[in-house]
Amino acid sequence: MCHANTAVYTADWEVGPEIGKLAVSKDVHSKAETTCVKWDSLDMCGLTAAGLATYVVTITTSNNLSAGTDDVVKMSLSNRYLKCLDPVELKTSTAYTDPFERGNSDRFVLTNLEDIGQITDVTIEKTKSGWFFKDDWQITGITVTNTKWRTTSMWLPARTGIATLDVPDKIKLEMLIAPVGKYNCTMSLCMAPAQDDIGKRMGWDHTWIEVVNRTELPVRETYFDCAGGYEMVAGTRKDAI
């Protein structure tokens, strides 16, 4: 779905009087341009979701007596824009050869699926295997990670006021965004010398936003010039935008 009348604001320097052959910019003006943003192509973090992605699903079966199942289990994933992927059978667990046994926490790697970003809902379908009766499967937790964006969603039965979930033939569960403790990023606002040619000659300072990502080595520092624009020349600060 495409929402109209979404204003994107930018800032530019007004060209002032000339000093010699150098046009001096004195004032900053802002201007808004209305555009159409395709919101359903964005994930929860505002990143463009496109192409293919790998999802890692973990399901923990209750340790209660007879809590496991041998039934066929399928799962479909959907995002906040109600875009739903086709059901995929959870057949091969990387943790156990016989999945969904009591007390197990099984892990399934779903590759080459459409990238729909952060998962907000999962639908579980359970059908009997062979001529046996359906099992009374009980689960205590689910997580789904989009490895492309490293975003994790989770479902816990305690949130609904129960200890375990008796899985019926089909059920849809709302997922929560899991806190991502492994990220270590900071953002700060500061004044620093301008990096464009005009700013350097005039000795001006600009307001900069500094983003430091210490999640993994090497540490990345990105600088956003709030005055608008950037200069792609030798001597420009690394990653200045």
**Rounded mean pLDDT, 59-81:** 92
Per-domain residue ranges of the chain? 1-41, 52-177, 183-241
DSSP state of 176: E
218 or 155, greater pLDDT: 155
Buried residues in 175-187 as b, exposed as e (16+ CB within 10 A): beeeeeeeeeeee
* β-pair partners for 84: 78
Confidence of residue 237 (pLDDT cuts 50, 70, 90): very low
- pLDDT at residue 61 above 60? yes
Question: Do the Cβ atoms of 170 and 125 come closer than 8 Å?
Answer: yes
Query: pLDDT tens digits for 142-153?
Result: 999 999 888 889
Question: Do the Cβ atoms of 52 and 58 come closer than 8 Å?
Answer: no
- pLDDT at residue 10 above 70? no
pLDDT for res 129:
74
**Rounded mean pLDDT, 30-58:** 62
**Rounded mean pLDDT, 4-29:** 45
Confidence of residue 141 (pLDDT cuts 50, 70, 90): very high
pLDDT for res 214:
74
DSSP string for 73-111: EEEEEE-TT--BPPPEE----SS-SSTT-TT-EEEEEEE
- pLDDT at residue 121 above 90? yes
Residue type, 163: A
Confidence of residue 173 (pLDDT cuts 50, 70, 90): very high
Query: pLDDT tens digits for 195-230?
Result: 778 888 888 888 888 777 776 677 778 877 777 544
56 or 201, greater pLDDT: 56
CATH class of 52-177: mainly beta
